[in-house]
């Protein structure tokens, strides 16, 4: 008998308005992509009656997310660890994968990077020393629901708890996919707008969640228009994994709307080179062509991207897609994350393997988001060795020492 993973959110949010925090699945002109190799064969095998237009409709992708053990075991051979995790209602995070992203998962290799990132294993049920539900202390910096004000001139605006695909190492696993806030979205958002309006030092608003791009165009435009009406808000940023897990969402309609509210920047969660399909490339190109600067944020993950060749390939691929690698994060110590976390020494080793060995545009800043709300702290290999007289001593990427005359 196949068992269904208990979910805390509806499998298919049926509609969206400003009083319900879930996506809309109404008909719309889909983004046009060329279904390639893996995605094309996957669609033919598991969705043989679905047309290419349906497959390339982001709403169809959301309606048909894989959310149960029964669905998943039809496309991959589950290990005992995966099956047990799917059957445990105490899992810290709901399970869901878009059909598109499922096409990138290896059916037979449990060590496949994409599979490890989205299919739960029993390890995530184990609580290790130093782990916490809210390791970054976001809740203690929340003046109104859904708004985190940790840095003086910027706020994190959590629009939704919904993602199209749930990464097992998610920093906000305590809240995403839970649908626990019974307050209407509009009521909650208006409180956030009011706080931003009265706090005049705020010049930068980061829209996150969940994934903001699971919201319909008209809802996103409502939010952007409200923010643009606040004179001291100079910059709007959007944090999303959509180009990697749901590239069909990046429609021409969406990009036309976004460009009306510049300056808008987008930070894309990028994990592994396997995500860098033609579909993801097309999505990034559409955003870049709309004049939206793109940056990437990558979490360092044990057994997934924790070696120099993989990270270099990922970062160089992002640059080719016109995405500037921005942050490489040490994995946050959320509950059940020990099997994902590497040592900081490993992170420094990877950074050292990038710096000087590839273009600087492909080298992200390696950071720890300090537990307890300390903010992002950059980590660097030792390059400043000290002074010798009026000279400072510097170490380059090859380990060689150089002098710089430092006039005092």
Rounded to 10°, the helix 344-354/308-320 angle is 50
Catalytic residue set = 150-151, 154, 163, 167, 170, 172, 332, 369, 376
Q: Residue 253 corresponds to which tokens in the numbers above? A: 């309609």
pLDDT at position 36:
56
pLDDT at position 47:
95
Would you say residue 4 lies in a domain?
no
Sheet with strand 204-208: strands edge to edge: 147-151, 154-158, 204-208, 235-240, 264-269, 294-300, 324-330, 365-370, 375-378
End-to-end CA distance of the chain: 76
Name which of 250, 244, 367, 358 is nearest 299 in CA terms: 367
- Kindly give the confidence (pLDDT) of every residue in the chain, 408 residues in length, as a single tens digit, with 9 standing for 90 and above: 333 322 233 333 334 566 656 665 554 445 455 545 578 899 999 999 999 999 999 999 999 999 999 999 999 999 999 999 998 855 668 899 999 999 999 999 999 999 999 999 999 888 888 888 878 878 888 999 999 999 999 999 999 999 999 999 888 877 777 665 545 788 999 999 999 999 999 999 999 989 999 999 999 999 999 999 999 999 999 999 999 999 999 999 999 999 999 999 999 999 999 999 999 999 999 999 999 999 999 999 999 999 999 999 999 999 999 999 999 999 988 888 999 999 999 999 999 999 999 999 999 999 998 888 888 899 988 888 888 888 889 888 888 999 988 865
Would you say residue 391 lies in a domain?
no
pLDDT at position 336:
87
Q: What is the CATH number of the domain that holds 175?
A: 3.20.20.70
Sheet with strand 384-388: strands edge to edge: 384-388, 391-395, 401-405
Would you say residue 46 lies in a domain?
no
pLDDT at position 242:
98
Name the residue range of residue 241's domain.
139-378
Q: Is 12:181 a contact under the CB 8 Å cutoff?
A: no
Would you say residue 99 lies in a domain?
no
Residue 369 is classified by DSSP as E
Q: Residue 207 belongs to what H/E stretch?
A: strand 204-208
pLDDT at position 270:
97
Would you say residue 338 lies in a domain?
yes
Would you say residue 80 lies in a domain?
no
pLDDT at position 378:
92
Q: Residue 226 corresponds to which tokens in the numbers above? A: 């409200």
Would you say residue 369 lies in a domain?
yes
- Binding site annotation covers 21? no
- Binding site annotation covers 284? no
Q: How many domains does the chain have?
A: 1
Name which of 251, 253, 252 is nearest 242 in CA terms: 251
Would you say residue 395 lies in a domain?
no
């Amino acid at each position: 008998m196949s068992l269904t993973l208990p979910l805390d959110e509806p499998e298919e949010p049926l509609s969206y308005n400003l009083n319900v925090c879930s996506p809309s699945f109404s008909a719309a002109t889909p983004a046009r992509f060329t279904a390639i190799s893996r995605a094309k064969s996957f669609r033919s095998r598991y969705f043989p009656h679905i047309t290419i237009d349906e497959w390339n409709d982001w709403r169809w992708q959301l309606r048909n997310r894989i959310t149960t053990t029964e669905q998943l075991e039809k496309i991959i051979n589950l290990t005992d660890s995966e099956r047990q995790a799917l059957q445990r209602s105490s899992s810290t995070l709901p399970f869901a994968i878009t059909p598109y992203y499922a096409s990138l998962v290896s059916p037979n290799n449990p060590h496949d990077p994409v599979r490890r990132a989205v299919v739960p294993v029993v390890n995530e049920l184990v609580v290790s020393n130093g782990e916490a539900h809210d390791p970054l202390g976001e809740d203690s910096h929340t003046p109104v629901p859904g708004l985190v004000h940790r840095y003086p001139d910027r706020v994190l605006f959590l629009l939704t708890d919904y993602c199209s695909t749930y990464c097992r190492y998610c920093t906000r696993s305590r809240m995403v996919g839970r649908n626990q806030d019974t307050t209407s979205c509009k009521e909650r958002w208006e409180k956030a707008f009011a706080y931003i309006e009265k706090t005049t030092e705020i010049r930068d608003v980061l829209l996150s969640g969940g994934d903001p791009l699971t919201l319909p165009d008209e809802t996103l435009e409502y939010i952007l228009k409200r923010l643009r009406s606040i004179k001291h808000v100079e910059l709007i940023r959007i944090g999303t994994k959509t180009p990697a897990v749901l590239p069909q969402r990046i429609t021409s309609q969406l990009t036309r709307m976004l460009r009306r509210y510049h300056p808008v920047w987008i930070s894309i969660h990028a994990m592994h080179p396997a995500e860098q399909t033609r579909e993801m490339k097309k999505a990034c190109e559409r955003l870049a062509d709309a004049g939206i600067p793109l940056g990437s944020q990558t979490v360092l993950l044990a057994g997934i991207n924790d070696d120099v060749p993989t990270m270099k390939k990922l970062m160089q691929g992002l640059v080719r897609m016109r995405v500037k690698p921005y942050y490489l994060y040490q994995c946050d110590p959320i509950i059940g994350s020990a099997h994902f976390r590497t040592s900081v020494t490993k992170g420094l080793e990877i950074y050292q393997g990038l710096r000087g060995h590839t273009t600087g545009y492909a080298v992200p800043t390696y950071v720890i988001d300090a537990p307890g709300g300390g903010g992002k702290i950059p980590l660097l290999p030792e390059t400043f060795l000290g002074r010798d007289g009026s000279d400072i001593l510097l170490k380059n990427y090859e380990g060689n020492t150089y002098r710089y005359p430092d006039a005092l």
